[in-house]
Structure 1
Amino acid sequence: MYSILIAEDEELERKGLRFTLEQDRRFNIIGEAATGREAVEMAEKYKPDIILLDIKMPGIDGLQAGKIIREKLPEAELIILTAYGKFSYSRQAIRIRAADYLLKPVRPQELLDSLEKIINRLKNKKEAEETLVPPSFIPYKEEEELIEEIKLANLNNIKPVIEKISKVINTRINRPTEEILKSLAYELIILTSRAAISGGADPEQVAELKKKTVLNLKNSKISGRFLEWVEDMIRGFVTLITENWGSGSNSLIDMAKNYINQNYQKSLTLDQVASFTHLNPSYFSRYFKEKTNMNFVEYLTRLRLEKSKELLLSSKLTVDKIALKTGFRSNSYFTSVFKKYEGITPTEFRTTYGQKNL
């Protein structure tokens, strides 16, 4: 019997899901959560095999809850429920390794089909454990780190992560066999291909390279050159990311800048921009500074100042209104920042340079 946790804030939806599951004796519903926080607490307490997670819930949403649950229960199977289109949140869901995405209202047969696939996967994991072959080799922390570096196409930082993964495997398994190394390599191919798509690579190109790479793995012997093989494999997928960036609009930095340019008037945070680019905030912060030679706050401040100068010279809006219109929380703060960067106040700037442009 497989234990299931239902996390859905709408009572009617929860009842419908429960009714469908209760028709199959293989499932045991261990609880129902109406908020993301409840889902995390119940998952940690009952450790279910499968969790149905609605994206939109009060407090922390399903994706945030899923990330926390994934850290605590790396083996749990997650099914994302969304009313916003099956692939709307696919990039974020990749990061928490969701097993499936179902569109609400969930049709009973669609849910059962999804669960059938998960059951088969769980059976395969159990068989793997019985033959002493671990179902998952990569520690969660290193997996998350590797995903972020692949999405950033940062080859220099990818090698140390792979080396850490290799050390962990050698610690867990004394002298890994060719079969175990190939299982690990296959797991890395899946992880890398998903990260490449999330990083901006063309899905069709990724699928084609994935097929070729799996075939290469089947026909190769990687004992004694495991790290070299993995580095070459990842380099191929990273190339697809950078080639797609070359078209301009797919660059993560371009994406971030465009988002900032469109939202600088609002109370914008680094976490919001990082979420838009589907990167961990700490990785995004480091990568943004590396590529722009300034941190996020400085970039945003300079952009707001440039927009404010345009308005000071081209409009008759008061300094108060210009401050609010360009994202500064008050006239006094705006004036303080403006003087720090420009050496004069906004009013002095308008008087001096506005007259010259008449």
Structure 2
Amino acid sequence: MYKVLIADDEEIIRRGIAHFLKKDPDIQVVAQAEDGEMALEQAMEYHPDLLFVDINMPFLNGLDFIEKLKTVQPDALILVITGYDDFKYAQKALRLGVFDYLLKPIMEDTFYEALGKAKDQLGHRQKQAQYLEWARALVEKNRPALIAEFLEGWLDGRFTEAEIQERISALGLELPEPVGVTLVHLENKDNAEIGGEWDEDLLFYAAENMANEVFQTLRPVSTCRNSAGELVLLTAGEPRAVWEAAGEQLKHLLQTHLPVDVFLTRRLGDTLQGLPAAYEGASEDLRTLLETPQLVRDAKKYIEENFAREEFSLTEAADYTHVSPQHLSRVFRQSTGITFMDYITRVRIRRAIELLRDDDHKMYEIAEAVGYSSQHYFSSAFKKVLGVSPMEYKKSLQKRGEPNP
């Protein structure tokens, strides 16, 4: 059913058009107006699909009415009614985007011919609108898969900058800045140990659901599966501490509830343009991690958990990993290229850098928090690694105007 408005200052013309339209079951006359101002008010109220508009009307003539209507209802279909003397105005109306015109006196066959064309146009528009709505629904239904496919292509460098922006807009994709890239590799354990059958797709799906729940405070969360079958998480990277804690929580949950060993790396991209580089860095970190001997992985994990204790030593880590200190020292250096104690120092300094960004921490508190009872010893170790003292480093942060997390 198409809604129609008739606007003409002659009642006999309005009545005649309404009479013609009564014969068409697809038409409903929703309003009639005797001047342009009334017609505009009724058009705003009823939103007609088709309008019959006289060129000459009081208060607001047909041309002015059409101009105003087009600003609020640009898709309305308009048939102008004109006499021979006003034909030049009808030509102007056509330039304004009206569909067609009818000459007075209006002949029945001419009227129905114009009406038929108008209905064909309206029907075509309706089909287009239905198709677009169907396409939108289809896209929305498949949006997660489309986003995942796009992200995989973007991270692999398959799109130009223009294509990236176009697809972000088309998918309504939200990505925060800075963006945190978390990469998760799952290694399936022997199913016989736990019972049941887990395939790669099921493991990925379960891991993805857990990740969405754990990282929900860092929304928006976007995920995809890279060509190696690994879970890629894109989330807000700040607050930094919350982002890092979410990664550790996810790793713990996955290892607790799924029959997998979990290898997780992450990198922070300051801008969206830096996202592929951050992903590449996380991928390189993951490859290195996967190539690292299990003994070194265990030692690194133990260091991360215990570096804040000043008395922590190689001997303690060796006892934890059930090897001699000499063997652990040798394997650790062969794998990492640095000594066990140098690695502990780097871990401590890395954590100290994070704490230095917070003005609430005093220098001696930072030293104690990362395993140094002596502020002087902490400062010396910091300078040995970075070439500047902790205080100098903190001043450089303030000069750069880095925000606190």
Q: Which has the larger radius of gyration?
A: 2
Is the strand fraction higher in 1 or 2? 2
Q: TM-score, normalised by structure 1?
A: 0.37
Q: Give the TM-score, by structure 2 length.
A: 0.33
Which is helix-richer, 1 or 2? 1
